[in-house]
């Protein structure tokens, strides 16, 4: 309440709060001592009334500093490329990486093959068909839990060391990214079989044109961590695929990264 004396007129201004923070109600009470009359006028304002009342709760700005952790970190590869891990997902020069060194969270799920990967494969298969070859997805997206089930099966059958040479541990599989495809087969026999030779050679010589690379080439097990798989292709986009194809390098060699389990 405010008291203002102007001559013989006393003006009392009372501030009434509204439940709506954007409104205020001002009551102006004018008293004329000569005529002994009082007039009250109510004025509704759309602007909040400022008083000297102190707020009981004050929101303070918070500053959060993201520290390098297992989930979020940045480093540089041996070949000078930026390695960035965001929420447990690793990117090298912006390309998602899943290998023995870099894993994916167990809940990472793109919902199947990515739209770009599927479109690129369909384009490639259409061209191959014109040349008399049939290409299809033998194995595409594979969830963490599915990978775990199959991996444990192979470990029980062949032993862990042997299984690690041809099948990724859960969280380390490219199939979980939705960017990898086993074309027509997943049998090691087809790495050398005569019946699969036309498709094997066509994939090796043409898949880069559609944004894919043969991810685990022959003679590169010590680098990629896996035996030769002529059927396993990885989508990385046409520009990068051509660069890697022309270089004759694996993804690890091109970027200067490793593919080794900690244990």
229 is catalytic: yes
Domains assigned to the chain: 2-45 (no CATH), 106-255 (3.30.1380.10)
Q: Which residues contact 136 (CB under 8 A, 6 or more apart)?
A: 125, 183, 184
**What does the pLDDT read at residue 19?**
41
Helix (H) or strand (E) holding 233: strand 229-235
Asked if 234 and 96 touch (Cβ cutoff 8 Å), the reply is no
Read off the DSSP letter of residue 111.
S
pLDDT at 70: 52
Residue ranges of the chain with pLDDT lower than 70? 1-70
Q: Which tokens belong to 194?
A: 């005569």
Structure tokens at 191: 């790495």
Which helix (H) or strand (E) is 240 found in, with range? Answer: helix 238-247
Sorted by sequence, the CB contacts under 8 Å of residue 25 that are 6+ apart come out as 15, 16, 17, 18, 42, 43, 44, 45
What are 249-260's pLDDT values in tens digits? 999 999 999 999
SS3 content of the chain, % helix, strand, coil (to 5): 30, 25, 45
| C-alpha of 231 from chain center | 26
Q: Which of 152, 229, 252, 253 is catalytic?
A: 229
H or E stretch covering 121: helix 115-130
pTM of the entire predicted model: 0.74
What pLDDT was estimated at residue 72?
92
Cβ(212)–Cβ(120) below 8 Å: yes
């Amino acid at each position: 309440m405010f008291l203002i004396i102007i001559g013989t007129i006393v003006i009392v201004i009372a501030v009434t709060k509204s439940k709506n923070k954007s409104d205020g109600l001002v009551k102006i009470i004018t008293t004329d001592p000569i005529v002994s009359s009082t007039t009250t006028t109510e004025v509704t304002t759309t602007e909040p009334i400022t008083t000297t009342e102190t707020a009981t709760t004050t929101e303070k700005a918070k500053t959060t500093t993201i520290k390098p952790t297992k989930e979020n970190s940045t480093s540089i590869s041996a070949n000078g490329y930026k390695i960035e891990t965001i929420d447990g997902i690793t990117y090298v020069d912006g390309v998602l990486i899943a290998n023995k060194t870099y894993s994916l969270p167990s809940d990472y799920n793109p919902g199947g093959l990515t739209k770009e990967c599927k479109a690129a494969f369909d384009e490639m298969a259409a061209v191959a068909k014109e040349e008399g070859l049939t290409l299809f997805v033998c194995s595409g997206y594979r969830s963490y839990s599915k990978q775990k089930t199959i991996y444990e099966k192979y470990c029980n059958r062949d032993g862990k060391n042997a299984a690690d040479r041809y099948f990724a541990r859960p969280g380390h599989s490219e199939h979980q990214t939705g960017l990898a495809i086993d074309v027509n087969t997943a049998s090691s026999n087809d790495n050398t079989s005569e019946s699969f030779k036309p498709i094997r050679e066509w994939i090796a010589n043409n898949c880069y044109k559609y944004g894919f690379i043969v991810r685990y080439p022959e003679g590169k097990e010590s680098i990629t961590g896996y035996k030769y798989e002529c059927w396993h292709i990885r989508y990385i986009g046409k520009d990068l695929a051509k660069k890697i194809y022309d270089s004759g390098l694996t993804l690890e060699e091109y970027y200067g990264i490793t593919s080794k389990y900690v244990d």
